[in-house]
Amino acid sequence: MPLRDTLTALLVMVGSTTIVVAQPAQPPGNPSPTFKAQVEYVEVDALVTDQQGAFVPNLTIDDFQVFEDGKRQKISSFALINIPVERDAAPRVGASPIEPDVQSNERPFDGRVYVMLLDDLHVASLRSQPVKDAARRFITQSLGANDLMAIVFTGGRSQDAQEFTSNKRLLLNAVDRFVGQKLPSLTAAREDDLRNQRNLPTFTPTLEPDDQLRAGYARSMLSTLQFVAGRLGGVHGRRKTVMWFSEGIDYDLTEVMRGGNVRESESVGILQNVRDAVAAAARANVSIYSIDPRGLSTLGDEAIGLQQPSERSLSRELRLQQDNLRQLADDTGGLAFVNRNDYSALLERIVADNSAYYVLAYDPPSKKRDGTFHRIEVKTTRPGLTVRSRRGYSTARGNVTSPRKPSGMRQELFEALTSPLPSAGLAMRVFTAPFKGPSPQASVLIGIEMLGRDLTLEGGRVDISYRAIDALAKVQAASNDTLSLDLPPDVKSRVAATGLRVLNRIDIPAGRYQLRIAAHDPGSRKLGSVIYDLEVPDFHASSLSISGLALSSLASSALLTARADDQMRSVLPAAPVSQRMFARNDELTLFAEVYDAVRDNAPRIDVVTTVAVANGNGVVFQRNETLDPNQFKDSPGVYGFTTPVPLSQIPPGHYILRVEARSRAGNGPGAAREIPFAIAPPAP
């Protein structure tokens, strides 16, 4: 059975659900369509190109026809998505970008959504570097500042993966952890087995060397693809792309369908995984772009020492693997980059396909959950145009189960916290500052600020939930809070004008986290969420380290702090703020702690606070001070200090605030923290 027929048969057999929410038909040009989660709809994105391969941007809803199982459907939702590529504008000192310590959802997400699936199970070790080079090139050159990407490995190494982020440093760090571990080709393994057994008294060649391990690799890859598609299933109104770096599944899927040369249990397991993966991609409307790191493929090193019949067998293996890459891409509306060395063209094509396209939705003619596969075809009435879209979807058998929310968390907040994208309905700014806590923990200060315009101030409330998720996807800290907004008239007016601040702390060990925070106002039904990449240093293991920087501003103190932090209250003139754009007549103060592992005869610590021009040269402010251990006898090894930063002496512009500490013992490098900020020009 040809591979195309194999996967088509699998598509017909799968049982899954496409639940897509709809909106009224709208004119083209809206980059962020809004979908109301009330009715089951089928959503499909369509790439329309002319005879030269260029995207056609001037089509209307009347230019499209959508067919399900050969019958035309009424298009209920229509939008042209046209996303600009925003270049990284992070302030820099030298060549290094300075990452912000504040994240906000005030601007709705308007970028592209990528998952980079690094198939370490099906990439040879010697080709690890080409994969890393291509992946790094895409992140550094093609990923926009307004995009989100996740890095996933098929080998189950969740601690090396990276959740959705726009932080290129974190993405590149994840890519650098990639190491291919593909098994030797089946042909080469058979020849090795043959050579090893020739001198044995009983000569029984193994038809499928490492068959269980090879099958396990295939199942793991397919299960990972299913998981990725499931994560993307809740994202609507966006094209969702999986960049699959792989040499193809090292397993003959046609053998699975025929039941030949594989153990029955393995055949059943792989078949189910193929069904689930194909169904999940169809359900989530995910496009797969498969990228073969072998480039212009030849038999190469794998053919060395093989006999001519084995070379033919190796060629067949290569074709099957490439067919796997092509078929999964074709059936999901993506593209396969096989037998090609031009990665620059690949990067440009992926970005172009995810920057301009149409999103269509329609009410399916049948709501039955019977596992039926339905073919989709999108056409245009204009001649000479080509449409690329997914080929179909499957309904589920029975009821669809949803993830269970934790006890005490409201459903709206749970959905926001589990979504891969932030929500902008209720605007928030979030800042963090990690401090040393009881061993082995760190005490992380979290500040959440909300705008008064989004809050119901007449007897209302706001529900806030957050989770700190570690690199193994485990929740290390969580909280569910409710703040009453039944306020006195004078306080109500203040909150309406300035907003509301909430401070909290979590105790977590050193490590890499993703902090997810969501807030919901039941009165206005506004919901917002922020995704924050948090890295907590190991203050207990370092010889010299410095905490996060907490900033207070006199002007920002007008914002009501609904919940204060006792430690910050004692060291700052006002509550710490998320504001990073200040007026020249404002008063800025910072607080930080330096941690020294030396206890006996502790040395003095020199601290230098500077304000440097971002993206340029020059220091516009510097303050030197010395911390004497005799002043900190109540907390040995912990040096807390408060420093004013006189903004009136600094002209408007973008700057980097840097605090650097060095021990006079001279027993190691210093420690430093940097955050970007700006001084606003005077109002006209």
Neighbours of 684 (CB within 10 A): 3
pLDDT at 212: 78
pLDDT at 192: 62
pLDDT at 514: 96
Residue 510 amino acid letter: A
Strand pairing category for 336-337 and 286-291: parallel
pLDDT at 668: 72
Residues of the chain with pLDDT under 70: 1-40, 94-95, 187-209, 251-269, 296-311, 370-371, 395-403, 667
Identify whether the C-beta of residue 655 lies closer than 8 Å to the C-beta of residue 678.
Answer: yes
pLDDT at 327: 84
- Residue 39 backbone dihedrals phi, psi, to 5 degrees: -120, 145
pLDDT at 653: 93
pLDDT at 366: 80
Residues 151 and 277: their CA atoms lie apart, in Å, by 18
Query: Which two tokens mark 378?
Result: 């999108």
- Residue 92 backbone dihedrals phi, psi, to 5 degrees: -130, 155
pLDDT at 445: 97
The domains of the chain, with CATH numbers, are 3-83+356-394 (2.60.40), 109-353 (3.40.50.410), 403-540 (2.60.40.10), 542-684 (2.70.50.60)
pLDDT at 87: 82
Helices (H) and strands (E) in the chain, counts: 12, 35
Burial of 292 (0-12, 13-18, 19+ CB in 10 A): buried
pLDDT at 21: 27
pLDDT at 1: 38
Give me the DSSP letters along 457-478: -EEEEEEEEEEEEETTS-EEEE
Identify whether the C-beta of residue 249 lies closer than 8 Å to the C-beta of residue 122.
Answer: yes
pLDDT tens-digit map of 187-239: 666 666 666 666 656 655 555 667 778 888 988 999 999 899 988 988 888 88
* Cβ neighbours for 35, distance < 8 A, ≥ 6 positions apart: 20, 21, 22, 23, 43, 77, 236, 237, 361
pLDDT at 39: 43
- Residue 445 backbone dihedrals phi, psi, to 5 degrees: -80, 130
